[in-house]
């Protein structure tokens, strides 16, 4: 479950990031780490890099920061990357791009992830929300921001309390970092954790059909975390699910609809590994097949 600090979150190149070759098997893959296993130096390096992104100009030509490019692109492509076949490979590539951009901003570690299952007894009490060793806690009713007709609570502690995200969806509206923990009834408690307990995740991982797997994953654990944290969320990407015990099957399994159904439009085409992952100028568009394995020269990581 790779996670980014905001809504979504050295000199950063202003040009589009180009991927390395994806045709060869990588040597010495990076081992991604759960946030709580990072050393103090690794955490501090990560935090500094995120803050660095917020000082760099947009690579998309926006009048906002490089940091804001990521939630902006994610939202702009929303209908093309959710509840479709490319949900998993697109987000895998997206997190890779984010990781490389952090490194360009001085980060010396690997991509960090949050293992939701470790906190499913009561996610609201997770150490991930610690202001010193974590990312800060829930929004405070003592500091709020009005956006449209709604009032949101601002994060007032932790390393990212002073960040000012630029967008609400793709509307320019600078605001405080928002979090509104809830259990689906505006009550803070287990925070929808029944969707991402070890047993719930194991049942999804045991599925052998790719379409069923990615739909259950997105509509279950992934969606629950978005809803539970709320505000600007702090979205997690796809879990490190096994999906089938056969490595060859797991690596190449793919299928489902290419795009979401749209009123008045023909039925969505069937997805293939040759479909192109759109990145909206954040990085080079590449075929799905290039990110089906993490053990290539392009991605080169494991868990």
Sign of the Cα pseudo-torsion (125, 129, 131, 137, in order)? negative
Coil, strand or helix at 153: strand
Position 22 in a domain: no
- Confirm if 93 and 286 have CB atoms less than 8 A apart: yes
pLDDT of 120 reads: 93
Position 288 in a domain: yes
Position 116 in a domain: yes
pLDDT in tens, 196-223: 999 999 999 999 899 999 999 999 999 9
Position 110 in a domain: yes
Exposed / middle / buried, residue 12 (Cβ in 10 Å: 0-12, 13-18, 19+): buried
What is the residue range of 107's domain?
Answer: 30-120+188-302
pLDDT in tens, 131-188: 999 999 999 999 999 988 889 999 999 999 999 999 998 899 999 999 999 887 666 7
Residue 248 backbone dihedrals phi, psi, to 5 degrees: -65, -45
Q: How many domains does the chain have?
A: 1
Position 90 in a domain: yes
Position 138 in a domain: no
Task: Please state, in angstroms and rounded to a whole number, the distance separating the CA atoms of residues 231 and 129.
Answer: 15
- Confirm if 226 and 220 have CB atoms less than 8 A apart: no
Position 3 in a domain: no
CATH number assigned to the domain comprising residue 249: 1.10.1280.10
Task: Please state, in angstroms and rounded to a whole number, the distance separating the CA atoms of residues 47 and 38.
Answer: 12
- Helix (H) or strand (E) segment spanning residue 99: helix 87-104
Position 200 in a domain: yes
Prediction pTM value? 0.88
């Amino acid at each position: 479950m790779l996670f980014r600090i905001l809504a979504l979150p050295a000199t950063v190149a202003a040009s589009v990031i180009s991927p390395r070759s994806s045709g060869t098997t990588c040597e010495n893959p990076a081992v991604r780490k759960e946030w709580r296993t990072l050393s103090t130096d690794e955490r501090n390096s990560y935090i500094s890099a995120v803050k660095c992104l917020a000082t760099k100009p947009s690579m998309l030509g926006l009048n906002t920061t490089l940091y804001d490019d990521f939630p902006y692109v994610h939202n702009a492509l929303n209908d093309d990357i959710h509840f479709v076949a490319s949900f998993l490979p697109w987000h895998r590539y997206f997190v890779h791009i984010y990781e490389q951009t952090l490194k360009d901003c001085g980060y010396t570690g690997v991509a960090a992830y949050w293992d939701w299952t470790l906190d499913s007894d009561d996610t609201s009490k997770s150490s991930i929300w610690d202001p010193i060793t974590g990312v800060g806690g829930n929004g405070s009713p003592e500091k709020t921001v009005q956006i449209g007709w709604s009032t949101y609570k601002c994060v007032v502690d932790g390393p990212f309390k002073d960040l000012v995200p630029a967008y609400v969806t793709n509307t320019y509206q600078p605001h405080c970092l928002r979090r509104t923990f809830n259990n689906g009834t505006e009550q803070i408690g287990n925070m929808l954790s029944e969707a991402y307990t070890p047993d719930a995740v194991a049942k999804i991982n045991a599925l052998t059909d790719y379409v069923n797997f990615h739909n259950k994953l997105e509509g279950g654990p992934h969606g629950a975390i978005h809803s539970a944290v709320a505000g600007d969320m702090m979205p997690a990407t796809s879990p490190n699910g096994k999906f089938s015990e056969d490595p060859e099957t797991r690596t190449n399994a793919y299928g489902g609809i290419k795009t979401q159904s749209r009123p008045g439009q023909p039925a969505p085409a069937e997805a293939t590994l040759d479909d192109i992952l759109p990145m909206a100028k954040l990085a080079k568009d590449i075929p799905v097949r290039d990110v089906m394995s993490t053990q290539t020269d392009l991605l080169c990581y494991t868990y």
